[in-house]
A and B are shown apart, each in its own frame.
Chain A
Amino acid sequence: MPVVEYKVPENIDAAVSMLSNTKLSTKVMAGGTDLIIQSRAQSSDPLVVIDIKRIDSMMTAAIVDGGLHLGPSMSCAQLTARSDIKAIYPGLVEAAYLIGSTQVQGRCSVGGNLCNASPAADTIPALIVNGAECVIHGPKGERTVAAEDFAVGVGRNCMEQGELLTRIQIPAPAAKTSDAYLRFIPRTEMDIAVAGAAVSVTLDADGTCTAARVSIGAVATTALLVTEAADALIGTKLEDAALNAAAAAATAASKPITDRRGTIEFRRHVVGVLTRRAAVIAAQRAKEK
């Protein structure tokens, strides 16, 4: 799909109308770290690229009432430099930081990670455990989709022709709530998750877990919200038995494939281990709040 046309809308309405009124195959570009590579693939469809980086609201982030309004195209380098955001959602920022090299960080974005809908996308489990909502603009107006429903298959998201992801909205966490994201890769840097797990926990004054969310990545066609794993944590003080039960629930919920990066058995085991470890880190962070 060679790029044959490049458009730069100044606002969201212009972008939506460019996306709707086209006969050619049209793609939105943020950092382009996936799109530019995909545009060089064999298939010969000419491609129109809509670069939405001149739209201010796509590129900025603000703390609103203790929660986050994230411009989907803000680079991960800019996001991870924001200590105010990291203080509220350390696991999300950690996940964003794991994508690619320093050079890729300079361009890639959380919105791009969502829209590209890789099963191994690092930020999607972290968005899911934080209850993120994806605000979508289209020819028929605005709608909101929960992060766990945004990706619908390998490389496929829920948006229809003409729709644009315009904001990622994350609610303010409750008191003594924090998150963590861990992934397994065979190297120390620059790799794709073989399995990943994000956990968010809320503790009460005596350290009992009153709320939790668990999401696992790279072990199914999309990142999964695993309520059974969260239920295993809620009402406990996160003792070994509870952590092991959450790990077992994550393993049970996973539906991985065997490929050159890992086998089914390995992925199922590791996703449980990561869930357990992420729960411990999230709980430690929640205690320190």
Chain B
Amino acid sequence: MAKIHVNTSINGEVVEFLCEPHETLLDVLRNDLQLTGTKEGCASGDCGACSVTVNDALVCSCLVLGVEAEGAEIGTIEGVSNKDQLHVIQQKFLEHAALQCGICTPGLVVSTKKLLEENPNPTEEQARYYLAGNLCRCTGYDKIIRAVMDAAETMRGAA
């Protein structure tokens, strides 16, 4: 089976790749493009570790075929910081110790960024519901939610 040639944009840069029709966007990011910040937890859409944006929609990259990236704009964790300058959300995750093993963290940061774009002033309940698709084995979630609420406040102050 011939590989398919795909033209896409990832974190604002033009990217081309070849992939098999059954490969997921997650496979392509990690195995072909060496963008290993996006993690695989379950590969079945349940854990959110693989969260990315595709044309501004928050999705699980394990439930997107690589070939669907044709002509799309993809956003991954690698595009969140400004070079060496961490994004406020990343900084707040560090300050609040909102991670332990870190497998869930890239997905949570990508999801939190989208949450705060859609709703800069969420209630704690809204934040918890929005992030319910991002599972964390380690933290018990409270520190994550504290980091998210603090990031939201800081970003509102800066805006």
Contact = CB atoms under 8 A, between A and B. Distances in A.
Chains A and B bind each other: yes
Given A3-B21, A5-B21, A37-B45, A103 B51 contact: yes
A263 B64 CA distance: 35
Contact of B21 (A4, A32, A101): A4
Nearest to A53: B68
B129 A189 contact: yes
Residue of B51, B65, B115 contacting most chain A CB atoms (<10 Å) = B65
A49 B24 CA distance: 13
B22 A3 contact: yes
A104 B60 contact: yes
Contacts, number: 80
Interface in A1-51: 2-6, 8, 29, 31-33, 36-37, 39, 49, 51
A280 interface: no
A101 B24 contact: no
Contacts of A4: 1, 21-22
B133 A103 contact: yes
A101 B57 contact: no
Contacts of B129: 189
B88 interface: no
B91 interface: no
Contacts of A2: 22
A49 B68 CA distance: 11
B132 A101 contact: yes
A33 B45 contact: yes
A103 B53 CA distance: 9
B111 interface: yes
A100 interface: yes
B63 interface: yes
B44 A103 contact: no
A101 B134 CA distance: 8
Contacts of A5: 1, 21
Nearest to B71: A54
Residue of B63, B67, B114 contacting most chain A CB atoms (<10 Å) = B63
A144 interface: no
Nearest to B118: A81
Interface residues of A, number: 27
Chain B interface residue count: which class? 20 to 34
A190 interface: yes
A287 interface: no
B59 interface: yes
Residue of A2, A32, A77, A106 contacting most chain B CB atoms (<10 Å) = A106
A100 B134 CA distance: 12
Contact of A37 (B44, B48, B59, B111): B44
Given A100-B45, A102-B132, A103-B111, A32 B65 contact: yes
Contact of A100 (B4, B51, B133): B133
A32 B57 contact: no
A6 B21 contact: yes
A33 B44 CA distance: 9
B116 interface: no
A144 to B, nearest CB: 30
Interface in A100-144: 100-104, 106-107
21 contacts: A3-B21, A3-B22, A6-B4, A6-B21, A32-B63, A33-B45, A36-B64, A37-B63, A49-B21, A49-B65, A51-B65, A53-B68, A102-B114, A102-B130, A102-B131, A103-B48, A103-B58, A103-B63, A106-B54, A106-B59, A107-B57
What are the 9 A-B residue pairs with the smallest beta carbon separation, nearest first? A101-B133, A106-B57, A3-B22, A189-B132, A6-B21, A106-B59, A103-B60, A3-B21, A6-B67
